[in-house]
């Protein structure tokens, strides 16, 4: 859809005059633009079209982001030694946190975070360790923000029972006539479905604590500075009450896969154990005071859980004719699902090693600093 960016930004309270914009191509959901203005020394702005098909409650979503960024900003002001940055919402001229245009489309704006970069596939243990630490710090800084201040903007986002039910319904409807192409994948899902319901059961029984979590901890949602220190967590659309396991698992799914999320040569897909270990150590270091026994026992499995659930969502979207995730070609969601399922298999074969690494990391990171 062609959008009149120069007109849209007039509704936000920005410094300087509009000079131009560049479209950012990452992410499967929203559309993002870097907007440049004439304000001297200003990094510009990050304007986003928010996908209302996916995010039905934009008011709740922006309120969640505002609560979280406000809380983080307070924490950072109190603790200057933490060299961390937080997204800054730019309000509209009327004070609102989002702009609803005449076509019913939703927009929001942040200050652009300049001179930072992300990592898609990670092959450096230092970067993995930094990333783990950063997501751990993010979660620990949010530990005292009361969870009832946030809305569950996508109900059941990582609810496995619900995702499975939706998948089975889609198979029956078969609206895009694609079920015939995915018999192997259906068998893969059925074989593991029962095992995957273990984590939701622990959450329902109150054995896994609810925390404020990010819920979309793709490794490239961590921004690094020029010396590759992790300094900012972005993409806060799904900050909600959740389990710490979701955040650990999704970062491993993305950061510790030796291949891209949509790699077509499945022989390249594997879990990179040194990267996994480095991330686990960083994460555990930041959260060692808070981790419960049930979280520790399920940390390694959470990587499989999250890889399975995202694979299931890609597969469901393929069956439905791709209404959810942005795709570049007709098989794209199927390719993504196949990568996730191959990664689950690779993690199954290394399950014991992955759990041992968690225990070893705990030993190392829990040792008193001398
Ligand atoms: C979506 O916004 P983006 O592209 O980082 C999705 C995540 C998936 C991810 C898969 C709101 O994240 O849940 O893990 O794609 N976000 C939403 O790459 O559904
Ligand atoms: Mg996202």
109-118 per-position pLDDT tens digit: 999 999 899 9
47 sits in which H/E element: strand 45-50
Other beta carbons within 10 angstroms of residue 301's beta carbon come to 20
Kindly state if the Cβ of 238 falls inside 6 Å of ligand 1: yes
As a whole number of angstroms, the distance between CA 16 and CA 333 comes to 41
- Lowest-pLDDT range of 1-10, 97-106, 257-266: 1-10
**Which domains, and CATH codes, for the chain?**
5-111 (3.30.200.20), 125-366 (3.90.1200.10)
Q: 27: Cβ below 6 Å to ligand 1?
A: yes
pLDDT, mean over the chain: 95
* Cross-strand partners of 90: 109
Element (H, E) at 358: helix 351-366
| Alpha-carbon torsion, ordered 55, 57, 62, 67, to 10 deg | -120
Residue 89: which H helix or E strand, with range? strand 89-90
Q: What are the tokens at 328?
A: 């570049």
Residues in the chain: 370
Within a 13 Å sphere around the CA of 191, how many CA atoms are in the beta-carbon half? 11
Pocket test for ligand 1, best of 218, 242, 339 (most atoms within 8 A of CB): 218
Go through 343-360 and write b for each residue having 16 or more CB atoms within 10 A of its CB, e for each that does not.
bbbbbeebeeebbebbee
* CA 81-140-300 angle, 5° bins: 125
Span 298-327, pLDDT tens digits: 999 999 999 999 999 999 999 999 999 999
pLDDT band at 370 (very low <50, low <70, confident <90, very high): very low
Residue 328 scores a pLDDT above 80: yes
pLDDT at 268 over 60: yes
Q: Is 158 exposed, middle or buried (0-12, 13-18, 19+ CB in 10 A)?
A: buried
**Count of alpha carbons within 13 angstroms of residue 255, beta-carbon side:** 34
* Separation of CA 235 and ligand 2 centre (Å): 5
Nearest bound ligand to the CA of residue 26 = 1
The closest-lying atom of ligand 1 relative to the alpha carbon of residue 314 is 10
241 lines ligand 1 (CB under 6 A): no
Residue 191 has pLDDT above 80, yes or no: yes
- For residue 44, pLDDT over 60 is answered with yes
Q: Is 78 exposed, middle or buried (0-12, 13-18, 19+ CB in 10 A)?
A: exposed
- Tens-place pLDDT, residues 130-175: 999 999 999 999 999 998 899 999 999 999 999 999 999 999 999 9
Pocket of ligand 1 contains residue 218 by CB under 6 Å: yes
- pTM for the model stands at 0.95
Residue to substitute in 24, 28, 158, 260 for testing ligand 1 pocket (most ligand atoms within 8 angstroms of CB) = 28
Can you give the C-alpha Rg of the chain in angstroms?
21
Average pLDDT over residues 216-239: 96
């Amino acid at each position: 859809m062609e959008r009149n960016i120069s007109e849209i930004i007039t509704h936000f309270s920005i410094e300087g005059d509009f000079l131009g914009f560049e479209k950012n191509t990452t992410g499967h959901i929203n559309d993002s633009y870097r907007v440049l203005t004439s304000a001297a020394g200003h990094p510009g702005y990050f304007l986003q079209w928010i996908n209302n098909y996916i995010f039905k409650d934009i008011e709740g979503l922006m309120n969640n982001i505002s609560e979280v960024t406000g809380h983080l900003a307070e924490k950072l002001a109190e603790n200057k030694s933490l060299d961390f940055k937080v997204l800054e919402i730019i309000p509209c001229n009327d004070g609102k946190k989002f702009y609803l245009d005449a076509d019913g489309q939703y927009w929001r704006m942040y200050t652009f975070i300049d001179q930072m970069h992300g990592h898609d596939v990670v092959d450096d243990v230092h970067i993995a360790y930094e990333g783990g630490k950063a997501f751990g710090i993010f979660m620990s800084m949010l530990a005292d923000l009361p969870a009832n201040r946030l809305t569950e903007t996508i109900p059941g986002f990582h609810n496995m029972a619900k995702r499975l039910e939706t998948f089975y319904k889609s198979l029956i409807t078969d609206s895009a006539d694609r079920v015939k192409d995915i018999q192997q994948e259906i068998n893969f899902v059925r074989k593991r479905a029962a095992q995957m319901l273990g984590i939701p059961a622990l959450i329902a029984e109150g054995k896994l604590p609810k925390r404020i979590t990010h819920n979309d901890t793709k490794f490239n949602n961590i921004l690094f500075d020029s010396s590759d220190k992790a300094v900012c967590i972005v993409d806060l659309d799904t900050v909600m009450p959740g389990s710490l396991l979701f955040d650990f698992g999704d970062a491993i799914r993305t950061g510790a896969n030796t291949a891209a999320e949509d790699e077509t040569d499945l022989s390249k897909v594997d879990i990179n154990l040194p990267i996994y270990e480095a991330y686990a150590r960083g994460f555990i270091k930041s959260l060692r005071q808070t981790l419960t026994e049930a979280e520790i026992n399920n940390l390694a499995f959470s990587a499989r859980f999250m890889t399975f659930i995202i694979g299931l969502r890609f597969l469901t979207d393929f069956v439905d004719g791709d209404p959810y995730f942005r795709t570049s070609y007709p098989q794209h969601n199927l390719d993504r699902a196949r990568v996730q399922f191959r990664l689950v298999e690779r993690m199954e074969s290394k399950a014991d090693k992955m759990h041992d690494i968690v225990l070893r990391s705990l030993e190392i990171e829990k040792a008193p600093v001398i």
